[in-house]
């Protein structure tokens, strides 16, 4: 699975403040690792605005809605939780997401 792919991901069994339900998520783990491991790292998205840098980033329209990457929700999931691909982030959006992740994780 390619880094930057937007996928449906089942995040059920979550408890607040974790994001739950089946929702779009952005694969942020490296493409080479994703080919080998049984899991990927995703940043879930939400349709709730506004953008709040570096915690919430507008990343485009997915599943018919404006989508915001929810940076604090970053997590590892097994590939069995993935339910299909929705598309890919643009190179510009992926670079902006990388900046947010770096700022959040420092």
Q: What is the pLDDT of residues 15-71, one digit of tens each?
A: 676 677 899 999 999 999 999 999 999 999 999 989 999 999 999 999 899 999 999
Sequential DSSP letters for 5-62: EEEEEE--S--TTS--SEEEEEE-S-HHHHHHSSEEEEEEEES----BTTTEEEEEEE
pLDDT the model gives residue 13: 84
Return the higher-pLDDT residue of 79 and 49: 79
pLDDT the model gives residue 15: 65
Q: Domain with 9 in it: what CATH number? A: 2.30.30.110
Structural domain boundaries enclosing 12: 5-105
**pTM, two decimal places:** 0.93
**Residues sharing a CB contact under 8 Å with residue 30, sequence separation 6 or more, in sequence order:** 3
> How many domains are contained in the chain?
1
pLDDT the model gives residue 18: 64
- Token pair for 36: 């080998």
DSSP state letter for 102: H
């Amino acid at each position: 699975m390619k880094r930057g792919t937007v996928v449906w991901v089942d995040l059920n069994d979550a408890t607040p403040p974790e994001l739950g339900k089946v929702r779009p998520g952005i694969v942020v783990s490296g493409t080479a690792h994703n080919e080998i491991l049984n899991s990927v790292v995703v940043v879930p998205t939400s349709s709730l605005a506004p953008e709040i840098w570096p915690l919430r980033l507008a990343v485009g329209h997915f599943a018919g809605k404006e989508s915001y990457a929810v940076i604090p929700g970053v997590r590892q999931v097994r590939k069995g939780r993935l339910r299909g691909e929705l598309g890919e982030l643009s190179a510009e959006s992926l670079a902006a997401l990388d900046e947010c992740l770096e700022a959040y994780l420092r």
